[in-house]
Chain A
């Protein structure tokens, strides 16, 4: 023992304690995130996939630009091409976001966490905030590096973009924003479903499978999906050019944020009410 004496129970012994704050929980969640290896690997995968895939696709499409038809040349989007890896990188964020809370359920750590912080909303909020913050920084780095590498590979073979071109800076910054919103959604889904495999499967369905299925549907079904499906709507913020049957960048991102907020609220309510 430390030899520290403690006051017996009574109305006054709490006066000596510092009340635990939300900032304490944020610090704790940051330690949790950085102290498991899966964080490092998932974030490395995000950066590497995002940059490398963007570079490969940029180089490949730029070299075949000369053979493009007129309509293909008209819809040439050098920013979008250089950011092509971001969609794949987002899968690593989904997996990590789901795991950072559902792994606590599979290991039982969640009980230890909730005994330490019985105000449960703080645990979820701190996890979501810390992970979204890290994702935002990693996402912005990935998007900007992918952009500059991509444009360097494109230039000389096809028209390339510059950050000063209309909508380009917003699209590149938007990549990090989209990933951060996806990060919060993944944490909320992990808290909601509690089983890592189930939560990852549902998130993959939301991000990848349902939009793909929608492509096979008739227009009358497909158009509302591409317009309002939360992740599709949110992706608009990463596009320089507006295509038919999609929302404008910021309203689209707003739709995604609204959806994230709803899922988060459900996760928060259930976390608070369910036996842990």
Chain B
């Protein structure tokens, strides 16, 4: 269980995290979602005691991170896969971390096998690809067999196999009853991995909801219709209470507030010929972009607002 209350982080005049309150429950994968610069990493750094909050507090199982008596046995974290000394062998990197928390040496071999790095355990970390570094970082998070796991963008740099592996691992860890917090800036990734979503933008909480709920509430449906009698059909649809927008061509209309079956029934009832009838579902990615549009830090010039 991770609990934040009124968390604020300011760097000079920049507000990175603005009054965040949430609790992250065990047994679920919680996706921490937001555009780049939304404050995800800063929040995670505050959870892990690297940054001190300007205001508010955050606790892990009721204690602030710096007061945990055996931190790695309670919280496993991967913040930055490249945050290792390049001259150190993978095994030694994990060994020095394990020793710092009194974790047995054989556990190092175990986690190296878990992440599939046993063959490169004696190689120095500077020769590792980003994907291998991610695996090494995940291995270090698993060393203490902790009840709480925090991963910042763990699939960055992984190949499709690796991405699938991370997803499965997250789900397994949560199924074992652990608290799993995973950040991402990709909604599509979270839709496949997470049970619960914490969406932030510009440091503020935008949504704290289950993935199902998020999908249901935000994926707008519309119906794309092409017909020689588009104008007539539009009138009948409006009569039936739907909203009709002009399409890309004079014979195309986009109908919202109803579904394709209803539109088809209306057309048949009035003897209107249809050349296209397509239900359109906004993607999760679009729903996420819609939700965070106001809070994206840097927008390309001319991007729609």
Contacts and interface: CB of A to CB of B under 8 A. Distances in A.
Answer yes or no: are A and B bound together in one complex.
yes
Interface of A: 1-2, 4-9, 13-14, 17-21, 24-25, 27-29, 31-32, 35-38, 103-104, 107-119, 273, 275-276
Interface string B49-68: 11110000000010001101
Given A112-B83, A118-B49, A27 B99 contact: yes
A107 B86 contact: yes
15 contacts: A1-B142, A5-B176, A8-B26, A9-B148, A17-B74, A19-B70, A28-B99, A31-B95, A35-B92, A36-B88, A107-B83, A109-B83, A111-B79, A118-B68, A276-B51
A31 B147 contact: no
B61 A9 contact: yes
Contacts of A17: 69-70, 73-74
A2 B70 contact: no
B175 to A, nearest CB: 10
B101 interface: yes
Contacts of B1: 9
Nearest to B76: A115
B177 A8 contact: yes
Interface string B95-132: 11101111000000010001000000000000000000
B100 A107 contact: no
Nearest to A108: B83
A113 to B, nearest CB: 8
A9 B49 CA distance: 20
Which of A4, A17, A29, A103 has most B Cβ within 10 Å? A17
Given A24-B100, A103-B85, 12 more contacts: A1-B173, A7-B147, A9-B26, A28-B100, A32-B85, A32-B96, A35-B88, A107-B86, A108-B82, A115-B79, A116-B97, A276-B51
Contacts of A24: 99-102
A20 B71 contact: yes
Contacts of A29: 96
A118 B26 CA distance: 23
Contacts of A108: 80, 82-84
B43 interface: no
Given A1-B176, A18-B102, A111 B85 contact: no
A261 to B, nearest CB: 25
B180 interface: no
Pick the 5 closest A-B CB pairs, nearest first: A108-B83, A35-B92, A28-B100, A31-B96, A28-B99
Given A25-B100, A28-B96, A112 B177 contact: no
B77 interface: yes
B284 to A, nearest CB: 29
Interface in B25-53: 26-27, 45, 48-52
Contacts of A116: 71-72, 97, 100-101
A4 B110 CA distance: 12
A9 B79 contact: no
Contacts, number: 133
Contact of B69 (A6, A8, A19, A38): A19
A109 B85 contact: yes
Interface residues of B, number: 53
A271 to B, nearest CB: 12
A162 B223 CA distance: 100
A18 B104 CA distance: 11
A6 B74 CA distance: 10
B19 interface: no
A6 B76 CA distance: 14
B114 to A, nearest CB: 6
Contacts of A115: 48-50, 71, 77, 79
A42 to B, nearest CB: 13
Nearest to B86: A107
Contacts of A117: 71, 100-101
A4 B52 CA distance: 34
Contact of A111 (B83, B86, B92): B83
Contacts of B101: 20, 24, 116-117
A111 B147 contact: no
B228 interface: no
Nearest to A4: B145
B179 interface: yes
B82 to A, nearest CB: 6
B177 A6 contact: yes
A157 to B, nearest CB: 45
Which of B96, B100, B140, B146 has most A Cβ within 10 Å? B100
A108 B49 CA distance: 15
A27 B80 CA distance: 24
B36 to A, nearest CB: 19
Interface string B246-277: 00000000000000000000000000000000
A107 B101 CA distance: 22
Nearest to B77: A115
B50 to A, nearest CB: 5
